[in-house]
Each structure stands twice: as C-alpha cells, then as structure tokens.
C-alpha cells in the first residue's frame, strides 16, 4: 500500500487507523493523498484520479505519482484534525499520553492551530475495562485499532463499538472483562490517550522517562526488552 511504501522510505503520511499488524479499515481518513496514475486507455498518460485516495488502502503501482502535501491533501488533513478535536476534551495537561500522542503531534504538524467550535462538547464516560486497562472514552478517536487487535491478534473479541455517529463508543461485551494475556498491548496500540495503563496512571510525564536495554526477567523467554525508567532528579 502507498502508506507502507512511504513509511518504509522514511516519508511521513499521517495515519491513525492503519497498523501494519492489523486489517485495513481506512476509517480515520487522515491519510488521504492525491494520486496521479498512468491511464492505459490514453497511452499511459499520467492523469489525476479525481478524488483523494486513502494511502493505507491503495496499492502502490508503477508510474504512480503521489502528492501528500498538495492543496487538496492538506485541506483534508486539516479538516480531519478539526473534526477529531471537536469533542476531544484537550486535557493534555493531565493525560498520560501527552508527549507521545499522535493527536498532539498531528494537530501541530497538520492541524489548523485554532478551533472554530464554540458549542458544547459531547461528554463521554470513563470505563474500567479490566484489571490493566482504563478507557477515557472522550479522548477516543474511534480508530478501532483496539477492537481489531482483540479480534485478529488475541482472538478473544471482548471489545466492540457501540452507538452511532458522534455517540460511537468503544466498550466491552456485557459480562466480559478485557483480561486476555495480551490485553495491556491495546494501551500501546492506542494512538491517543484513550486507553490507559492502571499501573502507570498519573505516575510520570513521559518526557521524564529514559529507556535502557534489558532482558525479560518476568517470563522465562530471555527476550531483549527496553525498560522505561522514571527520572528521579
């Protein structure tokens, strides 16, 4: 796909719902790009495809020219960021994800810089999903990475999307808990601060953490891992 080719080549195209380990849903729409492709019916003359295409779901092809920063692509990126932030609480000062959040990064790189929304924001609840994970639903951008992870990777399928339109919410099926062996991975998969680690909640700002190479001492795998250390200075 165009997005993966670009990422492999070190080129940034903003993306939320795409993850190389999960199925492609092309739902967040921030990765839309302008594509020019050879037209076989016109002597392979390079012609623009009239509408923007999702880079995450469009195969890369020979002779294609892809614009990620054309006026149309930039207008879309700004519009998507504006929509995503309409109901977002913008509570970065108390959010564990601040400093490593793709909403912050993309708002800075691709957003409008100001909000035109003056109406009342929709308030979504906080939910206890299981022994490791909390959901702050009003920070969720509905990328569905967490839902797809539980269906496609762990195969446990505890998570779902309920409601419609702006009332969409991530939830778990009644009577279930997010308690599979890999459940805490959804915290890392979540590109924003919606899924939170109960252990790490309000413990430290991420810019005070350092990382050091280590060996997994919890399981008997002996894997090489990176350990995050809190700055005590």
In the complex, the smallest distance separating the C-beta of residue 2 from ligand FES, rounded to whole angstroms, is 10
Please choose, out of 77-85, 126-134, 187-195, 207-215, the segment that lies near ligand SF4 by the rule CB under 6 A.
Answer: 187-195
Q: Which does 192 bind (CB under 5 to 8 A by kind): ligand SF4, ligand FES, none?
A: ligand SF4
* Torsion sign over Cα 87, 92, 94, 100: positive
Binding positions for ligand FES, rule: CB under 6 A: 15-18, 26-31, 54, 56
Q: Which does 31 bind (CB under 5 to 8 A by kind): ligand SF4, ligand FES, none?
A: ligand FES
- The residue to which tokens 């879309």 are assigned: 76
Q: Does 66 bind ligand SF4 (CB under 6 A)?
A: no
Q: Which does 107 bind (CB under 5 to 8 A by kind): ligand FES, ligand SF4, none?
A: none
In the complex, the smallest distance separating the C-beta of residue 116 from ligand SF4, rounded to whole angstroms, is 23
> Using CA atoms, how far apart are residues 27 and 49, in angstroms rounded to an integer?
20
Q: Does 140 bind ligand SF4 (CB under 6 A)?
A: yes
In the complex, the smallest distance separating the C-beta of residue 57 from ligand SF4, rounded to whole angstroms, is 17
- In sequence order, what are the residues at sequence separation of 6 or more whose Cβ sits closer than 8 angstroms to the Cβ of residue 42? none
SS3 of 15-76: CCCCCCCCCCCCCCCCCEEEEEEEEHHHCCEEEECCCCEECCCCCCCCCCEEECCCHHHHHH
- Window 190-209: residues binding ligand SF4 (CB under 6 A): 190, 192, 194-195
Q: Give SS3 for 6.
A: helix
Number of residues that bind ligand SF4 (CB under 6 A): 13
Phi-psi region of 27 (alpha: psi -120 to 50; beta: other; left: phi over 0): alpha
């Amino acid at each position: 796909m165009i997005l993966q080719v670009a990422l492999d080549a070190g080129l940034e195209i903003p993306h939320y719902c795409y993850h190389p380990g999960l199925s492609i849903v092309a739902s967040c729409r921030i990765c839309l790009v302008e594509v020019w492709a050879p037209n076989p019916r016109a002597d392979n003359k390079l012609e623009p495809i009239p509408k923007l295409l999702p880079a995450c779901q469009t195969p890369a092809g020979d002779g294609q020219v892809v614009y990620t920063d054309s006026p149309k692509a930039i207008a879309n990126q700004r519009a998507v960021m504006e929509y995503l932030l309409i109901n977002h609480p913008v509570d970065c000062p108390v959010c564990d994800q601040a400093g490593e959040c793709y909403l912050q990064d993309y708002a800075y790189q691709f957003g409008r810089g100001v909000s035109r929304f003056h109406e009342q924001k929709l308030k979504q609840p906080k939910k206890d999903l299981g022994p490791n994970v909390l959901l702050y639903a009003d920070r969720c951008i509905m990328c569905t990475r967490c839902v797809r992870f539980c269906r496609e990777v762990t195969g446990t399928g505890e998570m779902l999307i309920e409601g419609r339109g702006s009332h969409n919410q991530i939830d778990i099926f009644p009577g279930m808990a997010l308690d599979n062996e890999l459940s805490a991975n959804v915290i890392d998969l979540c590109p924003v601060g919606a899924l939170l680690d109960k252990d790490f909640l309000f413990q430290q700002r991420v810019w005070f953490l350092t990382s050091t190479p280590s060996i997994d001492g919890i399981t008997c795998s002996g894997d090489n891992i990176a350990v995050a250390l809190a700055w005590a200075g």
